[in-house]
Amino acid sequence: MEPGLPKFFPCSKCVRVVILVLVCFSLSFACTEGFDSLLELPRSGSNRTRPRSKRVLFVGDFGARGDGLYDDTEAFEIVWKLACSFSSRTRIVIPAGYTSLIHPIDFCGPCKSKVTLVPCRHAPTAVTFHKCKNLRVKNLRIVNSQQMHISFSSCLRVVTSLLKVIAPAMSPNTDGIHITASHRVQVKKCIVRTGDDCVSIVSNSSRIQIENIVCGPGHGISIGSLGKYNSCSQIQDVTVDGAFISNTENGLRIKTWQGGSGFAADIKFRNVLMKNVSNPIIIDQYYCDSSTPCANQTSAVKMDNISFENIKGTSATKDAIIFACSNDVPCEGLYLKDIQLVSQSSGVTSSFCWNACGSSAGLVFPPACFTCTDGLIQQYVSSSYALTTEGFIQQNVSFNYAFQSF
């Protein structure tokens, strides 16, 4: 087994997922109606000759013209093969000023060392990395996809940063960053404004770190949906640390279908500021994205050891905290600490709990409503307090907002 990978327990209703160690990722430049399949860079900077290094490869040196007319696919294939053959770490760079026409292409290994892709700022409408290992992606901007914008599928050891994803607020199924069946993935300093989940994490993923994310509009940061069609899902060791979520349908959400199996465990949400967010904190084990009512089922994906710490801001709905857990598989190990979620419209916020076991500490508002407790509950609720966006960011969130201008 790959060192550092979790030893997932087998599920009775699924086959254990085996992650391939082959280094391969698929870069799919999807052309949808109304869009051209182009890699586009901002028209700034100079194309003057730059010092060359064995570790830095410029696509223009391998035949890419970057004029938006000539097919640069072959040049990208050549530069990938060369980068993959180096025993030292290699960076593939697409220079500023390029607009490269790229057809669907697979970049596969195994490679002798780590490869970093530094693409243009304006990218295709959809990018998929499949079965990748030791991948770094940064400074990527994706606009107006009619599907998921950037997806990591069956990947191992990925670091991605400085992504900007933009789509209309009313566009469905346009997840910003989608992670499935992947392990040891870091997503840092990203801006996502779409019509669906800003970040979605699904099926058999572990050791996922989401840091310093700006999210909204959209559906917030989601784990799930899990367990659809009576399937097994195993999610473990996920951390969201540092986020500004505004004008979204949900804030921090875990959603599962009835009838599923497996677990979602060891999940931490902390240091999050929200503004005008419906359902700021929500675990929904009765999720049903169907035109007809979903049948009641007894089995469920187990929720265990999930914490929410230092979550503050304004709720667009009355129920700022919702823990709707399974009748037969209650949520356990829930933990709330330093929660301040007030009404966006000067109303009153409340909590809703169903079969939710947990504890709380510090100031928690609205007050916790756990139906059963895990140990001693220490709860201090203030009837009034001052909460400002500026103050929260200065005191609690170590965002480097310079990245917003990239």
- Residue in 219, 241, 284, 319 annotated catalytic: 219
DSSP conformational letter for 218: B
Task: Give the torsion sign (CA, 330, 370, 305, 310).
Answer: positive
Q: Is 304 a catalytic residue?
A: no
Task: Say how many CA atoms lie within 13 Å of 221 toward its Cβ.
Answer: 30
What does the block give as tokens for 183?
A: 């392990």
Asked whether 338 and 298 are in contact (CB, 8 A), the reply is no
Residue type, 334: L
Inter-residue contact 306 to 333 (CB < 8 Å):
yes
Torsion sign (Cα): 388, 363, 189, 163: negative
Cis peptide before 104 (omega within 30 of 0): no
CA angle 214, 218, 224 (to 5 degrees): 95
Is residue 196 part of the annotated active site? The answer reads: yes
Distance CA 229, CA 237 (A): 24
Burial 44-68 (b: 16+ CB within 10 A, else e): eeeeeeeeeeeebbbbbbbebbbee
CA atoms of 302 and 80, how far apart (whole Å): 42
Q: Are 300 and 330 in contact (CB under 8 A)?
A: no
Dist. CA 373–CA 370, nearest whole Å:
6
Catalytic site residue from 72, 175, 196, 197: 196
Indicate the residue type of 152. F
Do 164 and 138 contact (CB within 8 A), yes or no? no
Residues annotated as catalytic (active site), given as ranges: 196, 219
